[in-house]
A and B are shown apart, each in its own frame.
Chain A
Amino acid sequence: MTALDDAVLGDRQRLSYIASQAADARLNVELETEGMTLNIGPQHPATHGTLRIIARLDGEQVVWAEPSCGYMHRGYEKLTEVRTYPQVTTLVNRIDWLGSFANEVPFILAAEKLMGIEAPPRAQWIRTILFELSRVANVSLFLGDLGVQLGAITPVFLAFRDREYVLNLIESATGGRFHPNFDRIGGLKDDLPAGWITETKQVMRKLRNFCDEIESLLFGNEIFQSRTRGIGVIPRDVAMQYGLSGANLRASGVDWDLRRDQDSPMAWNKVSWKVHTHPDGDSFARCWVRLQETREATLIVDQLLDGIPSGPVMAKVPKIIKVPEGEAWVSTENPLGEMGYYVVSRGDIGPFRVKIRSASFNNISIVPWALRGVYVPDIITILASLYFILGDIDR
């Protein structure tokens, strides 16, 4: 909580950062620095995947930067048009591969909405639990990886150690570590295995310890703070224009979480939890909000585990699923931000058109704006704090 109490310090740091930038610009003019183009990637350890950044530099500062994506474009929107509805979940699993289950949910919800069916309560609760588990698995890797971007190696080992417990849970419930493909139109493929609830509670405790560890190791660290505070500041208005979502938006002070703020058949509104926001909008704020959200997710899971209703996990649906004609938009608050599907149906066994609105695409479209004027090492922290998954940008 120290981060929020110390808003004054944040302001001072930001001002000193701006002052040092101005001093540097003057220095660049005096030194008559030459412009150069720096190509980061497509394969660079700091870009977690094949994202290429082309940056035009003046001295140490970025004058202009442009991400170049498409190295992982798999054409999912086209492929959905030749798949049946149940087959699409296999594809969308691979959009954000660290939180795969969360990708399936909005698509299934959109199909259910068009068909006018709803999964039984037990299925909705288990869906929500698995959804939050994929958030924990996804964001805990971000928290570990964050250290690596700044030269601290330890956090990533902690992250991989503890994330493994969550993946094991997902595997024992769904059969797939990375790509569960578990959500069905009308419910879930299976019920939970025996003993899963007790095990999950233990793991959630471990994950909360992990969050504490990261908070004390990393967030209180002076180097970490000086590398992230006041850097990559995205004001609220800009964030909304670019359609930033998830922790990136909440770190700019927008109190908006789709889990809380929209009607959903899922079980989020059945338990009490808190939406964390941060007023600063800098790299630190984005990381801080994610850390808090991971901890909050473990608490959501804990509460949901206590109240899973009994009953079937699958509604009665026809064997061959035909979705009535219509259009539907469903989005959910995924680990990376707002992920939504605009599904157009023509009454066929497969969709007519699916527009996949992935969070990272919008989140990364702000990069040219956010990187102007920053120093070369800050490119890495800003990119890391915006947090993207390549498959989620290119789809």
Chain B
Amino acid sequence: MSSPAEPAVDAARDALVAEVRAALGGAVLDSLVKPGDDAWIRVSTGQWRPSLQALRTVLGFHYFCFLSAIDWMPSPYGRGEDDPTQPPPERDATIRPGYCGGDTRMQVFARVVNPVTHAAITVKADVPDDTMTVDSVADVYEGANWHEREAHEMFGISFAGHPDLRNMYLPSDFEGHPLRKDFPLLARMVKPWPGIVDVEPLPGGEGGDES
């Protein structure tokens, strides 16, 4: 309701993105600043590691916050709330990327922070659909080591140059990558979602229409 008066321009973040663009040159494919909120850039796959290296050494983004991946394919199973007795509904399977665009199904993204100015930026890069490989940044930010292991395990993305991509959570013989959208959530597959029952009108009620 009481939404704050958002500044239409965010001079600090605009300057930040301009500075990053100047330092990274042609590596930046797209950028976005949401005033009063956050800044995003997307770099080309080949420039993923050099970009983060430059952000750290040249622009002072010394603090590593996190690294992860997104699977932009809409889930073929929806939200697991379909009635199993009905034929599966038609779903839009078009892959739409998020902020700063993208051409591939998978994207890696990382957030780094400048501990002096407290400026932060989220960096994205496409992961090629065929090789599913990007360069590892574990030697740029040591902390990325575990985050890349996690992304490898959950999304099946390989990180070239990573010292040790063993599974962190799952048994080593586990098949599949759980956070990919086409990996079914078994608990929702083996029995119908209990919420389906809830939409039935209560006996003697006024149709149970809450909304």
| Residues of chain A whose beta carbon lies under 8 Å from any beta carbon of chain B | 69-70, 73, 75, 77-79, 81-82, 113, 116-118, 120, 186, 237-238, 240-243, 254, 256, 261-263, 265, 315-316, 319-320, 326-329, 331, 338, 340, 342, 344, 346, 348, 350, 353, 355, 357, 361-362, 365-366, 369, 394
| Docked complex Cα distance between A350 and B75 (Å) | 13
Beyond A327-B99, A344-B98, 15 additional contacts (C-beta under 8 Å) are A77-B179, A82-B81, A186-B1, A242-B64, A242-B142, A256-B115, A315-B1, A328-B38, A342-B109, A342-B122, A344-B70, A346-B74, A353-B71, A355-B68, A357-B66
Which among B38, B65, B66, B118 has the greatest number of chain A C-beta atoms within 10 A? B66
Asked whether, in the complex, the Cβ of B118 is within 8 Å of the Cβ of A355, the reply is no
For A328, list chain B residues within 8 Å (CB): 37-38
Asked whether, in the complex, the Cβ of A78 is within 8 Å of the Cβ of B178, the reply is yes
For B147, list chain A residues within 8 Å (CB): 365
For B40, list chain A residues within 8 Å (CB): 327
Let me know if B168 is at the binding interface, CB within 8 A.
Answer: yes
For B122, list chain A residues within 8 Å (CB): 329, 342
Which among A243, A254, A346 has the greatest number of chain B C-beta atoms within 10 A? A243
Minimum CB–CB distance for A342 against chain B, Å = 7
18 A-B residue pairs with Cβ-Cβ distance under 8 Å, sorted by A, are: A116-B3, A118-B2, A118-B4, A241-B142, A243-B64, A243-B66, A243-B143, A262-B118, A263-B36, A315-B1, A326-B99, A328-B38, A329-B122, A331-B65, A344-B70, A346-B74, A357-B65, A365-B147
Minimum CB–CB distance for A205 against chain B, Å = 34
| Docked complex Cα distance between A340 and B64 (Å) | 13
For B175, list chain A residues within 8 Å (CB): none
Known: A118-B2, A263-B36. A241 touches B70 (CB 8 A): no
For B141, list chain A residues within 8 Å (CB): 241-243
Q: How large is the interface on B (under 10, 10 to 19, 20 to 34, 35 or more residues)?
A: 35 or more
For B75, list chain A residues within 8 Å (CB): 81
The residue of chain A having its C-beta at the shortest distance from the C-beta of B142 within the complex is A241
Q: Which of B3, B81, B143, B178 contacts A242 (CB 8 A)?
A: B143
Known: A118-B2, A365-B143, A365-B146. A81 touches B79 (CB 8 A): yes
Asked whether, in the complex, the Cβ of B68 is within 8 Å of the Cβ of A78, the reply is no
The residue of chain B having its C-beta at the shortest distance from the C-beta of A364 within the complex is B146
Let me know if B210 is at the binding interface, CB within 8 A.
Answer: yes
Asked whether, in the complex, the Cβ of B179 is within 8 Å of the Cβ of A78, the reply is yes
Minimum CB–CB distance for A201 against chain B, Å = 29
| Docked complex Cα distance between A326 and B170 (Å) | 31
Asked whether, in the complex, the Cβ of A117 is within 8 Å of the Cβ of B3, the reply is yes
Interface residues of B in 53-90 (CB under 8 A from A): 62-66, 68, 70-71, 74-75, 79-81
Asked whether, in the complex, the Cβ of A329 is within 8 Å of the Cβ of B38, the reply is yes
Known: A70-B169, A365-B145. A342 touches B211 (CB 8 A): no
The residue of chain A having its C-beta at the shortest distance from the C-beta of B66 within the complex is A357
Known: A243-B64, A256-B118, A262-B118. A73 touches B170 (CB 8 A): yes
Binary flags per residue of B99-132, CB closer than 8 Å to A gives 1, else 0 = 1000000000101000100100010000000000
The residue of chain B having its C-beta at the shortest distance from the C-beta of A238 within the complex is B142
Q: Which of B1, B64, B68, B145 contacts A240 (CB 8 A)?
A: B64
| Docked complex Cα distance between A240 and B114 (Å) | 10
| Docked complex Cα distance between A361 and B62 (Å) | 18
Let me know if B185 is at the binding interface, CB within 8 A.
Answer: yes
| Docked complex Cα distance between A344 and B143 (Å) | 24
| Docked complex Cα distance between A98 and B20 (Å) | 40
